Structure 1
Amino acid sequence: MTDTKKLLGDERRAYILSLLQNNERSYTGSELAKLTNVSRQIIVGDITLLKAKNEPILATSQGYIYLSPSKPVLYEKIVACNHGPERTEEELNLFVDNGVTVKDVKIEHPVYGDLTASILVSNRKEVQQFMKKIANTNAAYLSQLTEGIHLHTISASSKKILEEAEEALQSANFLIED
């Protein structure tokens, strides 16, 4: 895209969709806004419209990604954790160091019910980016609303990797006992 042409409506959404579908990396709203010469808020609206058309776009802490059905089948599990905010980076690093992707965090809110937020971290660099974003925005962790109790959906290429990651988290006192 050139820096002089502003893409309009359907053309812009088609371009965004093509970018997301044809690249393995994520794109932030700001990156997409710059590429299409519109505001980030316009991009947020475009993504909402694309999602309404059942495009599998996911907003993550690293940006928007397209969930391609051609990705390898992974094993998933939900684990229950409990810790204070000061141990979040340690927890996430333990997961990724054991070959696990942390897909999301979930809490049970007394008013809103189940709340889920995407995390999608698979390596230490992504964990650092997530932690930096939390620090830069001064955002609270969802688990702070539940005194540290939260769930994570985790995925890996084998059940054994999931089990080994759970053992590491158990040893570090992150998991809630059954």
Structure 2
Amino acid sequence: MNDNEKILGKERRELIIKTLQASKKPISGRELGEMTNVSRQVIVGDITLLKAKNEPIIATSQGYVYMLTQSDHGKIEKTIVCRHTPEQTEEELHIFVDHGLTVKDVKIEHPVYGDLSASIMVSNRHEVKEFIKKVREANASFLLNLSEGGTHLHTVLADTDAQLTNAEDALRKADILVE
């Protein structure tokens, strides 16, 4: 196949799945589009079709991720309840990642819409910095702004119970942990 040849429909979507499954990091729609010689908008449509077929693909601030349970194999998953101001979001995320945790998502209970969640998928300070930068550049609100008193939940992954305990101790010390 020549380098400028578009990869069509079903074949392109199969390639997207295989690429996302093999990747250890999120891949942007632009990157997937360049790889298949189509626009980012075509990729967004492909992702929508794949999600409709129950492919576990999520969009993060860094790009698309294929959420295989086997990638979390051996990890401890826990939901942690937090409350803080929007200005403390970066501090909160740093506490998590500095203790070796991955922050998968954030969830709130909205008074009208009920449960709302958003993927975060940050594991280190660089990813936190990029996440915060994207929120600021988009002039977007953190989900905690939509919740009662800023209370929200994070699903986190850890390798050990000690990592969870140490992160919770640090969140407690920062007056962020809700118990």
TM interval, short-chain normalised: over 0.9
1:156 partner amino acid:
A
Task: Read off the aligned partner of 1:58 and give its amino acid letter.
Answer: I
Aligned to 1:160, which of 158, 162, 166? 162
Considering only aligned residues, what root-mean-square deviation do their CA atoms show, in Å? Answer: 1.6
Identical columns (%): 57
Tell me the residue number matched to 2:114.
113
**Per-residue Cα deviation, 1:92-141 (whole angstroms, up to 9, x for no partner):** 00110011111110110011100010101111111011111111111110
The number of equivalent residue pairs is 177
Write out aligned runs for 1:39-118 (5 A): 39-71=39-71, 72-118=73-119
What TM-score, normalized by structure 1, do the two folds share?
A: 0.92
C-alpha contact 1:3 1:35 (8 A) present in aligned 2: no
- Partner amino acid, structure 1, of 2:129: Q
Question: What residue is the counterpart of 2:36 in the other structure?
Answer: 36
| CA distance in 2: counterparts of 1:11 and 1:56, whole angstroms | 18
Counterpart of 1:159, as a letter, is: D
Q: In 2, distance between residues paired with 1:24 and 1:95?
A: 19
- Unaligned 5+ segments in structure 1 are none
Gaps of 5+ in 2: none
Instruction: Give 4+ residue runs of structure 1 displaced > 4 Å after superposition.
Output: none
Alignment partners' CA distance in 2, 1:138 and 1:3: 38
> In the alignment, what sits opposite 1:151?
153
Equivalent AA in structure 2 for residue 86 of structure 1: E
More off after superposition, 27-36 vs 81-90: 27-36
CA distance 1:111–1:76, shift in 2 (3 Å):
same
Distance 1:45 1:119 in 2: 21
Q: CA deviation at 1:3?
A: 4.9
Q: CA deviation at 1:2?
A: 5.8
Of stretches 26-35 and 1-10 in structure 1, the one that deviates more from structure 2 is 1-10
Q: Which amino acid aligns with 1:151?
A: L
Corresponding residue SS for 2:80 = strand
Describe the SS at the equivalent of 1:7: coil
Name the structure 2 match of 1:129: 130
Q: Which amino acid aligns with 2:94?
A: N
Q: Tell me the distance in 2 between the aligned counterparts of 1:38 and 1:23.
A: 20
Q: How does 1:3-14 map to 2 (within 5 A)?
A: 3-14=3-14
